[in-house]
Chain A
Amino acid sequence: MLSYLVRRLASALSSIFLAAVLVFAALLAIPGDPAEIILGLNASPEAAAALRHQLGLDVPPVPRFISWIGGVVKGDFGDSLNYRRPVSQLLVGRLQVSVPLALAAMLIACLIALPLGILAALRQGSWLDPLIVSFAQIGAAIPSFWLGLMLILLFSVELGWLPAGGYTPWERSPAGALRSLILPAIALGLGQAAVITRMTRASMLEVLRLDYVRTASAKGLPRRRVILVHTLRNALVTIVTIIGLSMAQLLVGAIVIEQVFSLPGLGRLALTAIGARDYPLLQAEVLLYATAIVGLSFMVDVLYGLLDPRIRYS
């Protein structure tokens, strides 16, 4: 088990390093100069050159990469070119929005998807199953920005219950922060719920078909126990993978929802960073995403073993 964890960790770290190299190289390749973007359409070449020097952009790529990665190892992500503030400071502020949003969306998604998926699998052949399946299909097809706007129109413009967007910081008012996250979490969660419902249903059906389930029923175990303990536990292996991947997707892919609800999250920061060619900020964001994805898949692997003792780490 320990040697497995060490090997797994080494491969995770090398994936993250590879991501760092790739994003650095990609940013060199795309056109656009941060100094020109900061100075705008009427910048003089002298002012741009002076700014480029100030920002350290006149250093050749290789030494620049080495000094950047050296800083990262020590926990220093450098200063944002656009905001001229430490990148780590910017990211911490944004995590306070993105992490609760992703968790809330996932909670909503699971609360809807797990019961619906299990129900659909158990009632296969009845009218309920196709209803749930088509519900999930529609849910997956609706674009999240449209859903977000509909939620705003209903709950903010018509009913006036919740803010139409914007964000109240946690330290100012936890209740306000929660209120500003409810609608976006629903908009984000419903799309994920659709995916997880379908996966839960499929996974349950697969396990229900297996011999040991029939044996358990034949032995006269109560149906509840057969379903919750024998079937669900095994079906969960697949479901957990999907949830883990969805979680990463929620962290990374909330850009559209953050834009619709004007939430200062990681996605919107990344969008600004791309527009401004803010290299240090963008590099740090990509590293963060890579770490989140690698970390979540690592956790999923560990969970596998707990759920299914047949999986051995060798």
Chain B
Amino acid sequence: MARIIPALLLALTLALSAAQETPEPVYGGQAVVAITAEPPGWDPTVSTSQEIARVMYHNVYEGLVRIDSEGQIVPALAESWEVSEDGLSLSFTLREGVLFHDGSEFGADDVVAKFERAMDPDSGHTHPEYYEAIDEVTADGNRVVFRLSRPSSALLYNLARPDSIIYPAGTSESQRSNPIGTGPFRFVEWVPGSEVRLERFDDYYIDGVPYLDAVTFRIIGDPNARFAALQAGDIDMIGVALSPESALLAEADPNLKVTQGANTTEITMALNNTREPLNDPLVRQAITHAIDKEAIVEGANFGFGTVIGTHATPVEPYWIEVEPYPYDPERARDLLEQAGFEEGELTLSFELPEPYNIERTAGQVIAQQLTEAGIDVEVSIVEWGTWLERIFLGGDYDMTIIGHSEPRDINVYGNPDYYYHYDNPEVRELLEQAELATSQEEAMEHYREIARIIAEDAVNVWTFNPAYLVAAQRDLYGYWENQPTVAIDMTEAFVAR
């Protein structure tokens, strides 16, 4: 079953991307890649800002394992790993002869130092809870052993996250301004607010890569300016937040090319499951029936995307196709009547997060559809800090909409305090079983069951998975066309002029 995912991904990529022969890789040259906002420093273990991981992960920093372009967990600094039969120990054989960018040698002590810091809640490390199951990390030559207090199927994936990068022991304080990793590129120059420049690391442990001499990530906040810079040839690639309008323009430009890949974003219309009348499943079902997801993909994203029916996208290993409440406005009206609401009697607030374009547009399409189904919707647009505090943390809302881009995040449905306020003991039980599972496949089967249950319960309305769009100069090749992780990995990118 696990093999189906890469095959599916490949099929998706082939079907969607502009058919183009990739030439033989060429060495030399450089590429300029646009990002949208300035990373607040460079260490992904002190801030969860996605901009940091986008630039630094896979390019400058690496962990024991990593996510490849097909979404699989593959070796990185660890050559191989073993899980003990009882699931209580995880041992890694480290790659030998790996150098950090400062010339020092990578070794087991760096790994131990990293995870001792990561597990310490007072160290300021981003997600100590990722490593909760670990009791102790010990080193023995080039082997590192994680002893666990309980089996943890999520741990290996957590070790592939940007949070789990490894840098030289004792350098955690200086990493945010002077990053030193083991990746194919080393950090050279940062012009605050403007750009960051990486250069080829000649001692990279994988022979033959990277191809480029340098990669510059330039910060361009305005989407129109970003596209103009691409058209002017100032930049080579827009690999994040390419608007669908720009994608259409790029497709028409003979100097540019566009690829559509897969990612893990679910544009989710969240419902406050404990607030009246949304605590009534009939009302939630009615809302789901009232929404035409195909129209949202067209209206909000020019058709670039896949309709989804639960909290998973086709690249998640637990993806299932479900749609228990398909678009049916008549049925929506009936259900509302059953729930005791006459036409026009139900008014709900719908709050759209200001910084996110696709979500705002999708929200407006949805509001229109709900109105047609006899629900009055009060739409308001909410500034980001306020959204986080009042809606996300405070849970004070009826309906909102946001893209959940985190991979493997179906576990949030087991947390009744999460802003959906969804409380289902069955889901919690399944999550626990999934975490204690000793095989990935067993864990994924539990996740699939959860995906089915939350869809039946109409917890939220999962609208669509927007395509990962990249626009690039015709002569740039080898970049990732899918986005199974946030990194813009340039290891195999090259320019063939």
Contacts and interface: CB of A to CB of B under 8 A. Distances in A.
B67 interface: no
A156 B228 contact: yes
Interface centre among A32, A149, A163, A262 (most CB of B within 10 A): A262
Contacts of A31: 385-386, 389-390
Contact of A156 (B124, B234, B386, B388): B234
B102 interface: no
A262 B40 contact: no
B228 A157 contact: yes
Nearest to A38: B47
A38 B406 contact: no
B225 interface: yes
A262 to B, nearest CB: 4
Contact of A83 (B40, B124, B388, B412): B40
Contact of A167 (B122, B191, B384, B412): B191
Contacts of B192: 90, 93-94, 264
Interface in B20-65: 37-38, 40-41, 46-50
A276 B233 CA distance: 32
Interface in A149-175: 149, 152-153, 156-157, 160, 163-167, 169, 172
Contact of B37 (A54, A90, A97, A272): A272
Nearest to B233: A160
B245 interface: no
B232 A157 contact: yes
B410 to A, nearest CB: 13
A260 B128 contact: no
Contacts of B47: 38-39
A42 interface: yes
B304 interface: no
Nearest to B412: A42
A51 interface: yes
Interface stretch (B214-222, B282-290, B423-431, B434-442): B214-222
Given A164-B228, A259-B222, A84 B127 contact: no
A36 B232 CA distance: 38
A163 B41 CA distance: 26
A261 B225 contact: yes
Given A39-B48, A41-B406, A84-B41, A47 B191 contact: no
B171 interface: no
Given A83-B40, A84-B176, A272-B37, A42 B194 contact: no
Contacts of B406: 41-42
Contact of B129 (A44, A51, A157, A172): A44
Interface residues of A, number: 55
Contacts of B234: 156, 163-166
A33 interface: yes
B49 A264 contact: no
Given A83-B41, A272-B38, A51 B124 contact: yes
A268 B193 contact: yes
A201 B16 CA distance: 60
B48 A43 contact: yes
Interface centre among B37, B46, B234 (most CB of A within 10 A): B234
Contacts of B50: 40
Contacts of B125: 47
Interface in A80-118: 82-85, 90, 93-94, 97
B143 to A, nearest CB: 30
Contacts of A97: 193
A86 to B, nearest CB: 12
Contacts of B340: none
Interface string B186-214: 00000111110000000000000000000
Interface in A240-296: 259-265, 268-269, 272, 274-277
Given A166-B218, A262-B221, A46 B388 contact: no
Given A152-B225, A166-B234, A260-B222, A42 B409 contact: yes
A39 B404 CA distance: 15
Interface string B124-149: 11111100000000000000000000
Interface of B: 37-38, 40-41, 46-50, 121-122, 124-129, 176-177, 191-195, 218-222, 224-225, 228-229, 231-234, 355, 384-386, 388-390, 392-393, 404, 406, 409, 412
22 contacts: A30-B385, A32-B385, A36-B388, A37-B384, A41-B404, A42-B127, A42-B412, A46-B129, A50-B121, A83-B41, A94-B193, A152-B229, A164-B229, A165-B220, A165-B225, A165-B229, A165-B234, A166-B195, A166-B218, A260-B225, A264-B193, A275-B385
